[in-house]
Amino acid sequence: MLTGLSRSPSARPPPSPSSILVSTVDDRKGVVQRARSGTLSSTANPNNHNSHSNASDKHSCNSHASNNCTSQTAMSFSKSLLFRVMVFRKILLINDGRDKVLKCAQYAAKLLLWLYFSKDSKTHSITQTQASKIASHFSLARKIIRLGHWLEPINDHMNLSKEGLLTIPKGLSLGDQHVRMMAPLNAWIGILNDIADDVICLSKMGVLPQLPEKWLQRTTAISDRCWYASIFIDVHAGYHSMLELHRKVDSASDPVQQQVLKDKLFMQRVSMLKLAMDFAFCSIDVFHLGDKVDDGLQVVTGFTAALLGTFKLYRKLK
């Protein structure tokens, strides 16, 4: 019999029609109220749920993209820094590179002396003395590094003779003829200049007998005048090289070749600027203008020439 059947504990009586109607009306009222207040649930509006999910996805993609950009920027910066460190290592492996780095340090110390200690020399007498010693030690270290440098211009002269550059062929312009004529002269001037520097350095080190002050001044004057003459020769050769590069840049039709020539022209201008700094620096020593001009002129020109020389070597080894 039906009355004898047992009812399960989970079974519930069916709701009455009136209760269903009341709950439906309450739900609709709640939906309308939430819609008016802007707090409609995701179950009531599925499109709102999709828009929120799309926005979160876009935000996630943007965050991933920004993270990737940041990591790529950091990686490119580290590679660029590592490349510059390796180029600097190449500079330090050669004598000319070590000489230029020490020259930058030497004239940086002199620049600090001129900027900070020249006016208050009495107040900072101890610091000024230490900085002067540091600059002097850097100068001596550069001379030691350049010991035997006179072998290089001898090698240049031998290469000129092997390549037949000591003879002047026909058809060359007057400027090119002068450059050819001055090349061996510049080599011999470089030999004399380096030998004079070696004598001064070895005398200061005590390897050679201490030169009298008179002979030391004469040897220094020979070195300065040789350097001064070589500056004029280098300026003449650099000027004609710039004119030739200008003509090649104007006549070049290939954009790649034109860019290469422009880079060479830029470096030639850097060389001319360095020669101008060397000329101003050496003129003070050759004509004994130390008492007539400010000490800062020689310090600034020397420091600028050191930076330009290091930059030239960096671009060469890059």
Residue 234's pLDDT is what? 96
Residue 186 has pLDDT above 70, yes or no: yes
E-only strand ranges, 61-104: none
Q: 173 and 88 in one domain? A: no
- Encode pLDDT of 10-31 as tens digits: 444 555 444 444 444 454 445 4
Q: Is residue 99 part of a domain?
A: yes
- Encode pLDDT of 277-303 as tens digits: 999 999 999 999 988 898 899 999 999
Residue 155 has pLDDT above 50, yes or no: yes
Residue 161's pLDDT is what? 77
Mean pLDDT (whole number) for 142-167: 83
Q: What Cα–Cα distance (Å) separates residue 122 from each residue in 20, 55, 189, 294, 296?
A: 102, 70, 43, 19, 19
Q: Is residue 297 part of a domain?
A: yes
Buried-state track 54-88, b at ≥16 Cβ within 10 A, e below 16: eeeeeeeeeeeeeeeeeeeeeeeeeeeeeeeeebe
Mean pLDDT (whole number) for 243-267: 94
Residue 89 has pLDDT above 80, yes or no: yes
Residue 126's pLDDT is what? 64
Q: 109 and 226 in one domain? A: yes
Q: 54 and 159 in one domain? A: no
Q: 242 and 139 in one domain? A: yes
Residue 312's pLDDT is what? 96
pLDDT above 70 as % of the chain: 72
Q: What is the mean pLDDT of the chain?
A: 80
Q: Is residue 165 part of a domain?
A: yes
97 pLDDT band, cuts 50/70/90, is very high
43 pLDDT band, cuts 50/70/90, is very low
Mean pLDDT (whole number) for 70-87: 81
Q: 163 and 148 in one domain? A: yes
Residue 124 has pLDDT above 90, yes or no: no
Residue 65's pLDDT is what? 58
Mean pLDDT (whole number) for 233-242: 94
The total number of structural domains that make up the chain: 2
Contacts for 210 with CB less than 8 Å, ≥ 6 apart = 203
* Better-scored residue on pLDDT, 94 or 55: 94
Residue 178's pLDDT is what? 78
Residue 295's pLDDT is what? 86
Q: Is residue 298 part of a domain?
A: yes
- Encode pLDDT of 169-179 as tens digits: 666 777 777 78
CB atoms inside a 10 Å sphere around CB 227? 20
Tell me, what DSSP letter sits at residue 208? S
Q: 298 and 169 in one domain? A: yes
Q: Is residue 177 part of a domain?
A: yes
Residue-range definition of the domain harbouring residue 70? 49-93
Q: Is residue 217 part of a domain?
A: yes
Q: Is residue 10 part of a domain?
A: no
**For helices 213-251 and 255-286, angle between their N-to-C axes, nearest 10 degrees:** 160
E-only strand ranges, 7-102: none
The CA distance from 304 to 232, in Å, is 19
Q: 170 and 68 in one domain? A: no
* Better-scored residue on pLDDT, 70 or 268: 268
* Better-scored residue on pLDDT, 192 or 123: 192
Residue 35's pLDDT is what? 46
**Both structure tokens of 308:** 């330009």
Q: Is residue 16 part of a domain?
A: no
Lowest average pLDDT, out of 202-211, 215-224, 249-258, 270-279, goes to 202-211
Residue 146 has pLDDT above 90, yes or no: yes
